[in-house]
Amino acid sequence: MINEKLPKIWYGGDYNPEQWEKEDWDEDVRMFKLAGIDVATLNVFSWALIQPDEETYDFEWLDEQIDRLYENGIYTCLATSTAAHPAWMAKKYPDVLRVDYQGRKRKFGGRHNSCPNSPTYRKYAERMADRLGERYKEHPGVLIWHVSNEYGGYCYCDNCADGFRNWLKEKYGSLESLNKAWNTRFWGHTFYEWDEIVPPNELSEEWNGDSTSFQGISLDYRIFQSDSLLECFKIERDVLKKHTPAIPVTTNLMGTYNELDYFKWGREMDVVSWDNYPAYNTPESFTAMRHDLMRGLKSGQPFMLMEQTPSQQNWQPYNSLKRPGVMRLWSYQAVARGADTVMFFQLRRSVGACEKYHGAVIEHVGHENTRVFRETAELGRELTQLSDTLLDARVHAKVAIVFDWENRWATELSSGPSKALDYVNEVHKYYAALFEENIAVDMVGVEEDLSKYDIVFAPVLYMVKSGYADKVRQYVQNGGTFITTFFSGIVNELDLVTTGGYPGELRDILGIWVEEIDALPPEEKNQIVLKKDTGSLAGSYECSLLFDIMHTEGAEVLAEYGSDFYAGTPVITCNSFGQGKAYYVGTCPDQAFLTDFVKTICDEKGVKPLLELPKGVEVTERRKDGRSYFFIMNHNSLKVDFEISEGTDLLTGEELKGITSVEAYGVKIIKR
Ligand code: GLA
Ligand code: ZN
């Protein structure tokens, strides 16, 4: 349980009473109670308010808020306010300001804007966390610490440059090994002094955000910046822990956000939390994958849905409303995949600046007679009714998909073979195929133990980190099924090519040698032609993007290319290795192929869909104390029927058997 003080699914969200008048505060509380809200996140962006100058701290306002909420049965998720530095700090200590990708020194403005290596920022952020910890350590209303907010963005200032050099010294020991790792004899880049190294941005090695002349330095800079921001988190966390060892500490993450290696971050957090903002056209499978990824950061431990909008966003190009029922549906989608909280941004809509048209539980009209409020209150009632039933329940998956941020960075920084290659997209295609089949999936990092899985997919495993090939080898030898794709096994963890034939260290496991890689514009297709029907795979499918031209070295050829000069050569192979099998998908197949392919592999391993359901109906299972909870989520705009052998509707108590139905955008939680 995240905190035993509140043994139910927490319900609430970001609350910014500092932005409106005292008169509204009592109204807020009245409506929170009506909506079943029991947690409010305070102090996210109030640094300038509680520290008006260098020496003055004024917590009175915050005391009053925390007390008032607590007296009304509402707990506080207490943020540390360090996600936006005060203007006076920027003026007095310009080192808190970042230097951007174009090399421009920023001025005061925006948020999430502090240099992570600024001594001033670190000092005052730590001091703020210390004061907050000291002041509220005994307060019964404080449920959890919310450090900063959505860490992200990189800095290229001189402090970061110095920090980077020290970080490199630590990593490589000597310039000699750094020069080797970055292959600096290319384009005459040999470094003789540490201070010759400068951050890679548009003033030096990079352009477009993802293009570089030196992958080595660009990859290291990403790791370094992610580590630097993580260091800022740890500084605050440690000082908070000193005051309140028993109160959990988190910071809100952003799903598949590119710039931070969240597997490293997850290890430092007591509980993972994240902000879920799908657009009207985001596939349900993509949101599901992001929930599973957030659950994967701490090997399946429940996470927090820290933010979602009750109705609409303001920052997307088209901010459609969540249709009636959809807020509830998407809230349960999070719970179904491991969330033990449902929280919003925000509880009341602001009246000024760029988020005034962002959805909120209390809208500008200011009363409870709105669709959004009614839906929020209805969900609040259900979550109160569910009490602690679902807390800590676990998802059990027999299938894993490997996701790795450093691999992603290396793939995307690669110059060639195709600019259309998008790592997250490729991973999502496999995820989507499993999602359609209602197969439970764990999204795992490269540190995860593979032996608990029957099937492991590792799409575009371009970078094979030290020891990982052995891990895969052992997994397959012991009977596991491993699937990888084109552009895998190409480089080691320094992004240096493993010579001797692709896919490098994975070659013996896969029983193939890739001689050449063809890359064509996305609209140009080839075909995957099955040699014979295999499981659900039959006939031919389309493929695009990259096309490996390969030779088998023991693997069986399942399918061949249909056209071009490599027609009739292998494209899909399967190698028996020890007691297991290793499949290779040498191109980017269409979704029809992936659907049939995952079905074939799951059938072969006896991995079954959780339930057979109509299209557009998602199902997950969470288990606790020998009981199973099935979440049936209908993403269709029409009611659908499905069959269930038996079970109890957790919310209505109704006994279910045989044909039952779920409303348009409806959810059923079935206990078995
Ligand atoms: C993020 C931030 C919030 C708010 C919302 C708006 O998640 O953490 O402060 O800006 O976006 O969608
Ligand atoms: Zn900096």
345 C-alpha vs ligand 1 centroid, how far in Å?
A: 6
Paired residues of 556 in beta bridges: 574
Determine, yes or no, domain membership for 576.
Answer: yes
Determine, yes or no, domain membership for 505.
Answer: yes
Confidence of residue 297 (pLDDT cuts 50, 70, 90): very high
Confidence of residue 504 (pLDDT cuts 50, 70, 90): very high
Mutation choice for ligand 1 from 344, 355, 361, CB with most ligand atoms inside 8 A: 355
Task: Provide mean pLDDT across the span 387-404.
Answer: 98
Cβ–ligand 1 distance for 277 under 6 Å, the answer yes
Question: For position 583, what pLDDT does the model report?
Answer: 99
* Whether residue 656 has pLDDT greater than 90: yes
Determine, yes or no, domain membership for 428.
Answer: yes
Q: How many Cβ atoms are within 10 Å of 152's Cβ, its own excluded?
A: 16
* Whether residue 262 has pLDDT greater than 90: yes
Same domain? For 550 and 442 the reply is: yes
Mutation choice for ligand 1 from 150, 319, 344, 354, CB with most ligand atoms inside 8 A: 150
Determine, yes or no, domain membership for 560.
Answer: yes
Question: For position 280, what pLDDT does the model report?
Answer: 85
Place of tokens 């659908």: 640
Determine contact, residues 403/634, Cβ cutoff 8 Å. no
Determine contact, residues 670/644, Cβ cutoff 8 Å. yes
Place of tokens 């193939």: 512
Same domain? For 251 and 378 the reply is: yes
Task: Provide mean pLDDT across the span 322-334.
Answer: 98
Residue range of the domain that includes 198: 158-219
Question: For position 446, what pLDDT does the model report?
Answer: 98
Tell me which residue has its CA closest to atom 12 in ligand 1: 313
Question: For position 668, what pLDDT does the model report?
Answer: 98
Percentage of the chain beyond pLDDT 90 is 99
The rounded distance, in Å, linking the Cα atoms of 649 and 627 is 13
Q: What is the average pLDDT value for the chain, to the nearest integer?
A: 98
Cβ–ligand 1 distance for 149 under 6 Å, the answer yes
Determine, yes or no, domain membership for 126.
Answer: no
Task: Provide mean pLDDT across the span 355-360.
Answer: 97
70 C-alpha vs ligand 2 centroid, how far in Å?
A: 39
Question: For position 26, what pLDDT does the model report?
Answer: 94
Same domain? For 411 and 541 the reply is: yes
Specify the CATH number for the domain of residue 260: 3.20.20.80
Confidence of residue 480 (pLDDT cuts 50, 70, 90): very high
Paired residues of 587 in beta bridges: 547
Of 204, 202, 203, 176, nearest to 191 by C-alpha is 176
Same domain? For 622 and 583 the reply is: no
Specify the CATH number for the domain of residue 621: 2.60.40.1180
Cα first-last separation, the chain:
22
Q: Among 570, 605, 640, which residue terminates a domain? A: 605
Residues flanking ion ligand 2, Cβ below 5 Å: 115, 117, 155, 157, 159-160
Evaluate if pTM is beyond 0.95.
Answer: yes
Cβ–ligand 1 distance for 257 under 6 Å, the answer no
Kindly report, residue by residue over 222-259, the tens digit of the pLDDT.
Answer: 999 999 999 999 999 999 999 999 999 999 999 999 99
Tell me which residue has its CA closest to atom 7 in ligand 1: 275
Q: Which atom of ligand 1 is nearest to the CA of 45?
A: 9
Determine, yes or no, domain membership for 43.
Answer: yes
Determine contact, residues 41/15, Cβ cutoff 8 Å. yes
The rounded distance, in Å, linking the Cα atoms of 400 and 456 is 5
Q: Among 605, 631, 648, which residue terminates a domain? A: 605
Tell me which residue has its CA closest to atom 10 in ligand 1: 355
CA distances from 93 to 90, 106, 156, 441, 582 (A): 5, 13, 17, 48, 56
Of 414, 417, 413, 415, nearest to 519 by C-alpha is 417
* Ligand nearest the Cα atom of residue 310: 1
Query: Which letter, b or e, does each residue of 408-428 get, where b requires 16 or more Cβ atoms within 10 Å of its Cβ?
Result: bbbbbbbeebbeebebbebbb
Determine, yes or no, domain membership for 5.
Answer: no
Question: For position 21, what pLDDT does the model report?
Answer: 87
Determine contact, residues 9/386, Cβ cutoff 8 Å. yes
Q: Compute CA 637 distance to the chain's CA centroid, rounded to the nearest angstrom.
A: 28
Kindly report, residue by residue over 521-566, the tens digit of the pLDDT.
Answer: 999 999 999 999 999 999 999 999 999 999 999 999 999 999 999 9
Name the helix (H) or strand (E) containing 331. Answer: helix 326-336
Q: What share of the chain is helix, strand, coil (3-state, %, to 5)?
A: 35, 25, 45
Tell me which residue has its CA closest to atom 3 in ligand 1: 345
Q: Which atom of ligand 1 is nearest to the CA of 314?
A: 12
Same domain? For 354 and 502 the reply is: no
Same domain? For 445 and 578 the reply is: yes
Structure tokens, 177: 């090994």
Question: For position 587, what pLDDT does the model report?
Answer: 98
Structure tokens, 360: 């909120």
Confidence of residue 404 (pLDDT cuts 50, 70, 90): very high
Catalytic residues: 150, 307
214 C-alpha vs ligand 1 centroid, how far in Å?
A: 34
> If you ran DSSP here, which 8-state letter would residue 114 be given?
B
Kindly report, residue by residue over 420-464, the tens digit of the pLDDT.
Answer: 999 999 999 999 999 999 999 999 999 999 999 999 999 999 999
Same domain? For 347 and 411 the reply is: no
Cβ–ligand 1 distance for 358 under 6 Å, the answer yes
Same domain? For 300 and 321 the reply is: yes
* Ligand nearest the Cα atom of residue 150: 1
Q: Among 319, 351, 386, which residue terminates a domain? A: 386
Determine contact, residues 403/442, Cβ cutoff 8 Å. no
Residues 6+ positions from 52 with CB-CB distance below 8 Å: 58, 86, 88
* Ligand nearest the Cα atom of residue 105: 2
The rounded distance, in Å, linking the Cα atoms of 302 and 46 is 29
Q: How many separate domains does the chain show?
A: 4
235 C-alpha vs ligand 2 centroid, how far in Å?
A: 17
Same domain? For 203 and 319 the reply is: no
Confidence of residue 653 (pLDDT cuts 50, 70, 90): very high
Determine, yes or no, domain membership for 178.
Answer: yes
The rounded distance, in Å, linking the Cα atoms of 578 and 479 is 7
Same domain? For 344 and 423 the reply is: no
Same domain? For 502 and 648 the reply is: no
Same domain? For 514 and 456 the reply is: yes
Q: Which atom of ligand 1 is nearest to the CA of 275?
A: 7
Determine contact, residues 575/555, Cβ cutoff 8 Å. yes
Per the omega criterion (within 30 degrees of 0), is the bond before 589 cis? no
Cβ–ligand 1 distance for 236 under 6 Å, the answer no
Kindly report, residue by residue over 162-213, the tens digit of the pLDDT.
Answer: 999 999 999 999 999 999 999 999 999 999 999 999 999 999 999 999 999 9
The rounded distance, in Å, linking the Cα atoms of 600 and 582 is 14
